[in-house]
Structure 1
Amino acid sequence: MKSFNTVLLLAASVFMAPVSAQDAAPVVAEAPDAATAAIGTPEPGKALVVFFRPSAFKGAAIGFIVREGETELGKLRNANFFTLQVEPGKHEYTVHSEAKDVTTIEAEEGETYFLSGEINMGFMAGRPNLSPSDLTAFRGAFPKLKPSKPLGE
C-alpha cells in the first residue's frame, strides 16, 4: 500500500508541476471586430450614440429623419447606420410620419448607446420607431449595413 501511495504522489506531482512563463500561451489582445471598428469609441468627455436600421423587407423604401428637438440629426434608410458624439445628459430622439415616437436616453461619458429603427404598419403610411438596442444586435445586422453621414456633416 505504501508503494501505491508513493506512485500516486509521484504521478500527481508530475501533473501539478508549475508552468513556467515560457510554457504559458501568449496573451493576445483581442482585435476589434468590423462592427466595433466601424463605429469607433466615444471622444473624451462625450458619449457615442449609434442609430441603425437593420435590413428588412417591411418598409424598405421608407426612410425617416432622426431629430433632437428641432435639429435634424440624420436619416435612417433601410440597412443604414450613423453615429453621433453627444454630451453626457438627457437626450430625446424623435422620429415621425403620421405618428410620433420619442426615445429618451441618459447618456453617460465614455458610454456607447445603440438605437434600432424600424417601420411599423400605420393607417396611411409606415410608422417609424426607435428602440433601445445593444452591440450584439448591431453586430448581427452589421454585415448588411452601410454607413450614412449624420446631417450637417
Structure 2
Amino acid sequence: MRSMMPRSILCAVLLVPAFAMAQDTETAAATSAPAAVEAVSPGNGLISAAPADKGQIVFFRESKMMGAAIGFKVREGETELGKLRNGKYFVVAVEPGTHEYAVQGETKDLLTMEIEPGETYYVKGSLGMGLVAGRPNLAPSDEATFMGMSKKLKLAK
C-alpha cells in the first residue's frame, strides 16, 4: 500500500508559493489601480470629451485569463490604429462619416460605424475560441460597459 504522505507534501510545497504570489498580485493591483484612474484626463474620469469637429472611438478589451497572451491590431484600411491586448484600451479621434474597422487572427472581423462630430463611441474587443490562435471580434458597446470594466483596464501604449 502506498503512502499518501509524499503526495501531500508535494502539493503543499507547490500550492503555498502559488497562494503567496496570488496575494501579492492582488495587493499590488489594489494599491496601483486608483493611481491609474487619477492620472487620466477629465470627461467621464478616463476619457476626455470628443473634439467638436471629430468623433472619437474608445476601443477596449476586458481583462480575462483566456487568451491573455494574445493581442490583435485594430486597423482602418491599411492603417493600424492600435493594439488591443488583454485589459487595455485606446482612443482614436476620427473624421465624421462611415468607417470600417478590422481585426484579424484566424478569421477577419469587420465593424462598420457611422461617426458623428462631437460624439464618443465605444467598441469592445474580444477573443473567441479558435483552432490555433483565437478569433478576434469587435462589437459596439457603451460607456456603462466600459466604465464597469475601467478599474481593470489600462491605457495601451
Kindly name which structure, 1 or 2, has the bigger radius of gyration based on alpha carbons.
Answer: 1
Residue in 2 that maps onto 1:123: 131
Identify the residue that residue 144 of structure 1 maps to in structure 2: 152
The amino acid that maps onto 2:123 is: L
Structure 2 portions without partners, runs of 5+: 1-40
Unaligned runs of 5+ in 1: 1-32
Deviations 1:60-107 (A, max 9, x none): 110000000000110000000000111000010000111000001000
3-state SS of 1:38 partner: coil
TM, length-normalised to structure 2:
0.71
| Residue among 50, 63, 70 paired with 1:62 | 70
**4+ residue stretches of structure 1 with deviation over 4 A?**
none
Q: How does 1:43-122 map to 2 (within 5 A)?
A: 43-122=51-130
Identity percentage of aligned residues: 54
Alpha-carbon shift at residue 44 of structure 1 (Å): 2.1
**Structure (1/2) with the larger helix percentage:** 2
Deviation by residue 1:31-72 (Cα, 9 ceiling, x = unmatched): xx9782321111120001000001111111100000000001
Q: CA RMSD in A?
A: 1.5
Cα deviation 1:104-128 (Å, max 9, x = unaligned)? 1000011110000011001221111
Amino acid at match of 1:74: G
Provide the secondary structure at the position in 2 that maps to 1:141.
Answer: helix
* Amino acid aligned to 1:37: G
SS in 1 for 2:100: strand
Distance 1:135 1:53, change over 3 A: same
Report Cα offsets for 1:110-153 as digits up to 9, x if no partner: 1110000011001221111110000010001100000014xxxx
Distance (Å, rounded) in 1 between the aligned partners of 2:136 and 2:59: 13
Match for residue 8 of structure 2? none
Which AA in structure 2 matches 1:141?
M
C-alpha distance in structure 2 between counterparts of 1:60 and 1:88, whole Å: 33
